[in-house]
Structure 1
Amino acid sequence: MAKILILANNDVGLFNFRKELIEELIKENEVYISLPYGDLIPKLEELGCKFIDTPISRRGTNPLTDIKLFLKYRSIIKEIGPDVVLTYTIKPNIYGGIASRMSAVPYIANITGLGTAVENGGILQSITLFLYKISLKKAKCVFFQNKENRDFITDKIKMSNHRLIPGSGVNLKQYSLMDYPKDGVVNFLFIARIMKEKGIDQYLDAAEYIKRKYSNTEFHILGFCEDAYEAKLKELQEVGIIQYHGMQSDVREFHKISHCTIHPSYYPEGMSNVLLESAACGRPIITTDRSGCREIVEEGVSGFLVEQRNSQDLINKIERFLHLDYKQKKLMGAESRKMVETKFDRQIVIEAYINEIKKVI
């Protein structure tokens, strides 16, 4: 059996978005996973993965910590002797890629988003691109999740083999088409980590305005809350502007009551899984007109696009949605589902990986 080593930065993303690929790989290969321990590690081990605990400072910029990660990857590769290494997210892509290259082991990288270091420019962008140049140059394949990321990186770094895939795709059976809820109270849904770059300020601005003007609306929020927003969420919940539900293990229960998902994110992600899952459930979408979000929406057909960081534009698009009749809202949801069935089925991603791995092994 061939040995496949997967380098990732967290268990949640690996289990929720790569589980089906892992299930396919385990049929004929030994699969090792290197990442920090988390609650979903036992489930990944149940699938048949062999876990290697690997601490990662996901957002840290301490060079000593990153050197330790690189050395850890070198040690893991030497010990296991993988036939191919799969890397996800920035630090595994960079340090795992360099370690694989130095060990003469084939590797396949996935650019799941450029990250704020590249997005914001400056010295951090220059350093990150330099490291990407070293790590990606000899990759057997680099997967990109949207065209803007691909064009930006390939303009800076010449590489021989890269492919565009539809993000992580979505499991169309797990996120099945749901009945559209009745048109009494209109429920809006925000699902994301409660942080500035995910557009929470714009969502709260819109909720305050719309709720006071349209009494038949409810604004729901799901996700882990950063300290900076705890007081504000509590205050707005107490006066009835929002309903905050915290972290949820299964968001499908909330899609059942939702009429529309609002995702005003300007975080530099590859392809929004929140939007893919919402669309798969047959829900209209209001989201930012930027890469990683706009690809999942057909303007005016399955939802609306808004200018990033623009609360007034978001308010305007919510009002446009509210002025649609029930049949039009329901049709928007059906169009969302149709789009993901055509373009974002997770099986497309699995087949792309299997194809590239077969070239190597």
Structure 2
Amino acid sequence: MNRRIIFCSNTSWYLFKFRRSTISRLLEEGGAVYCLAPRDDYSKMLVDLGAEFVDIKMDGKSVNPLKEFSVICELYQAIKRIRPDYVFNFTPKMNLYSGLACRSMGVLYSNNISGLGTAFIHDSFVYRVARKLLGFSNKGAHRVFFQNEDDKSLFERLNLIRRQSVDILPGSGVNTDEFYFSPLPDGPIVFLMIARLIADKGVREYVAASKVVREKYPDVRCLLVGPMGVSNKTAIAEEEIAEWVRKEWVEYLGYQEDVRPLISQAHVVVLPSYREGMPRVVLEAASMGRAAIVTDAPGCRQSVEAGVTGFHCQPQNASDLTRRMLEVIELERNCLSMMGAAARRRVEKAFSEVYVINRALECVESVC
């Protein structure tokens, strides 16, 4: 393979954490890989993989038209200089900005819809315009990858895609060797939520439910893991998180580079998100033999087979999440173990990262 391939994302962190295996495989096949993203602590790790890093100065929270237009211009110049054979776009802003730049130059590209993001959860004039432009970007794409049928159907209803260019992937895939099976620990139940600390992930619902659960069962632990101060309009303030910890509703453990030890010590993973593409953390936990409680919302509902590998609760409903968490506490431990084993089998069968990597290779190999 003698191809120049670009990966675009709103963070280097995303590319390294979720697309590392695909990047490595393309490099092994002889491709030249360029990673376009804002510089962060993971940029050097992408370079260490063998990719070339290009710093794109983007603010994830910005909706300033002049700033955003300058990002599009910066992407346009970078793509023009590299002259890629194929571009993979990830995260909402890059699907839009890089997609527009690629379409204007006639460069083959794919957009990866890994969740609809703020522009679809909230509504305003700016977000309505963004959705229209995203449709224009998608309709010029060689492929538009979705992670669940709900998001695909919504884009079809809104006329934001060409149906002949659409494909569905099992999220970003899971390395089942890296996320090895682990038996449930002894002792009181431990709940674990791993997410960016933003309202749209359902963090406040988890904390409210944990408060009630711990009042009834003080020995139960409710762990919260994830970065504060993220670039998102619904980011939760550090002072609010500190208050939760002070009142002992949750144990906040900050951002953890390797979540496997935490999953190993937990019994159930909780993700009450308002909407996802396909939640990677739920699949990673399932690979390690953990059931999950997720919302009956697009993306989330597909990550768990209700009653078999976990439970569904109502979105934005702390009372219903509380009910589910209490049900888990009252379950026989062997029932929870069987659900975890079923979750592991489901990941092995349907969510391996091998399929995702092969689909990327097929896109690149389709270049004449």
TM-score range, shorter chain: over 0.9
Give the aligned partner of residue 175 of structure 1: 179
Q: Distance in 2 between matches of 1:22 and 1:230?
A: 34
- Per-residue deviation, residues 45-97 of structure 1 (Å, max 9, x unmatched): 11110111111121211111121111112211221111111111122111211
Q: Distance in 2 between matches of 1:228 and 1:347?
A: 35
Q: Distance in 2 between matches of 1:72 and 1:4?
A: 18
How many residues end up aligned between the 2 structures? 359
Give the aligned partner of residue 246 of structure 2: 238
Give the aligned partner of residue 156 of structure 2: 154
Give the aligned partner of residue 232 of structure 2: none
Q: Distance in 2 between matches of 1:239 and 1:77?
A: 50
Give the aligned partner of residue 56 of structure 1: 58
TM-score (norm 2): 0.93
Give the aligned partner of residue 166 of structure 1: 170
The answer on whether the counterparts of 2:222 and 2:251 sit within 8 Å (CA) in structure 1 is: yes
Gaps of 5+ in 2: 230-234
1:239: Cα distance to partner?
4.2
Q: Distance in 2 between matches of 1:93 and 1:127?
A: 14
1:279 aligns to 2:281 (yes or no): no
- Per-residue deviation, residues 4-46 of structure 1 (Å, max 9, x unmatched): 1111110111101100000111121111111111111111111
Q: Distance in 2 between matches of 1:8 and 1:229?
A: 25
The answer on whether the counterparts of 1:73 and 1:95 sit within 8 Å (CA) in structure 2 is: yes
Q: 1:346 aligns with which of 333, 341, 353?
A: 353
Q: Distance in 2 between matches of 1:39 and 1:153?
A: 34
Query: Structure 1 residues 76, 232: CA separation in 2 closer, same or farther (over 3 Å shift)?
Result: closer
3-state SS in 2 of match to 1:14: helix
Deviates more, 1:68-77 or 1:221-230: 221-230
Give the aligned partner of residue 317 of structure 2: 310
- RMSD of equivalent CA atoms: 1.5
Gaps of 5+ in 1: none
3-state SS in 1 of match to 2:265: coil
1:140: Cα distance to partner?
0.9
3-state SS in 2 of match to 1:256: helix
1:286: Cα distance to partner?
0.6
1:317: Cα distance to partner?
0.7
- Per-residue deviation, residues 133-161 of structure 1 (Å, max 9, x unmatched): 22121211111111111111123134131
Give the aligned partner of residue 13 of structure 1: 14
Give the aligned partner of residue 129 of structure 1: 131
The answer on whether the counterparts of 1:287 and 1:294 sit within 8 Å (CA) in structure 2 is: yes
The answer on whether the counterparts of 1:286 and 1:303 sit within 8 Å (CA) in structure 2 is: yes
Q: Distance in 1 between matches of 2:240 and 2:69?
A: 39
Query: Structure 1 residues 242, 342: CA separation in 2 closer, same or farther (over 3 Å shift)?
Result: same
One-letter identity of the residue aligned with 2:53: F
Q: Distance in 2 between matches of 1:204 and 1:143?
A: 33
Query: Structure 1 residues 233, 96: CA separation in 2 closer, same or farther (over 3 Å shift)?
Result: closer
The answer on whether the counterparts of 2:138 and 2:161 sit within 8 Å (CA) in structure 1 is: no
Give the aligned partner of residue 94 of structure 2: 92
Q: Distance in 2 between matches of 1:111 and 1:195?
A: 19
Q: 2:207 aligns with which of 204, 209, 212?
A: 204
One-letter identity of the residue aligned with 2:207: L
- Per-residue deviation, residues 196-219 of structure 1 (Å, max 9, x unmatched): 211122111111111111133111
The answer on whether the counterparts of 2:206 and 2:318 sit within 8 Å (CA) in structure 1 is: yes
Q: Distance in 2 between matches of 1:66 and 1:327?
A: 53
3-state SS in 2 of match to 1:360: coil
One-letter identity of the residue aligned with 1:37: R
Query: Structure 1 residues 234, 91: CA separation in 2 closer, same or farther (over 3 Å shift)?
Result: closer
1:124: Cα distance to partner?
3.2
One-letter identity of the residue aligned with 1:317: R
The answer on whether the counterparts of 1:119 and 1:125 sit within 8 Å (CA) in structure 2 is: no
3-state SS in 1 of match to 2:361: helix
3-state SS in 2 of match to 1:143: strand
Q: Distance in 2 between matches of 1:228 and 1:279?
A: 27
Give the aligned partner of residue 84 of structure 2: 82
Q: Distance in 1 between matches of 2:197 and 2:338?
A: 30
3-state SS in 2 of match to 1:87: strand
